[in-house]
Amino acid sequence: MNECEYDALSACDVDRIETDLYPKAKRGLLWVSAALLGFSFIAPYFHGRHGGRPLAETMGYGGAFLLYILVFFCFVYYFYRKSVYALRADLLEGKKLIFRTRITRKSWQGHEEFELSLESLPKALSREKFLFPVNESHCFHEGDTVVLEYLGRSSVLLKFYAEL
């Protein structure tokens, strides 16, 4: 049961990626880039570890600024590869992964939502929490088989539903 299988992206999936997920990833990349660029202007003046001298004093403001730009560029490039590039690659590939597993536990998280614990998860979704509103509580029961449809490269969960 806990095996992944491939399926083609539906028109609804493609539309969701193009109109919702991809623009959101690009906006996120832009915000992260702007924040890190702004931070790199003031970061050379911060004190080092254990109250050490600021980097601007030890290597000059220009060198410290370029060092922070280089380090932050690496972060932005990683974020780009994991979000924007991966979504575009998934879209061009035109495939999604389908994973079936069982619900082991259904626990209530306050009065407005509940969380599902699953028997096993694919590595791409291992950090995912499955929280749902109370009005969907009748759709999921312990022992039910659920289907997770997700994108392989970007690890974006497209659909989560109980199999009949």
Label residue 48 by pLDDT band (50, 70, 90). confident
Least confident interval from 3-7, 28-32, 89-93 = 3-7
Region 12-27: mean pLDDT is 95
Rounded Cα–Cα distance for residues 63 and 57 (Å): 10
CB neighbours of residue 60 within 10 Å: 12
Structure confidence by residue, pLDDT tens digits, 91-100: 999 999 999 9
Predicted TM-score (pTM) of the model is 0.81
Region 128-147: mean pLDDT is 88
Q: Which CATH architecture has domain 95-162?
A: Beta Barrel (2.40)
Domain range summary for the chain, segments of one domain joined by +: 10-93, 95-162
Region 112-119: mean pLDDT is 90
Structure confidence at residue 58 (pLDDT): 86
Is 30 a residue whose pLDDT tops 70? yes
Is 51 a residue whose pLDDT tops 90? no
For the chain, the average pLDDT equals 91
Q: Which residues contact 102 (CB under 8 A, 6 or more apart)?
A: 1, 118, 119, 143, 144, 145, 146
Is 52 a residue whose pLDDT tops 90? no
Q: Which residues contact 35 (CB under 8 A, 6 or more apart)?
A: none
Is 12 a residue whose pLDDT tops 80? yes
Which of these, 102, 100, 99, lies nearest to 143 by C-alpha position?
102
Is 49 a residue whose pLDDT tops 90? no
Structure confidence at residue 1 (pLDDT): 65
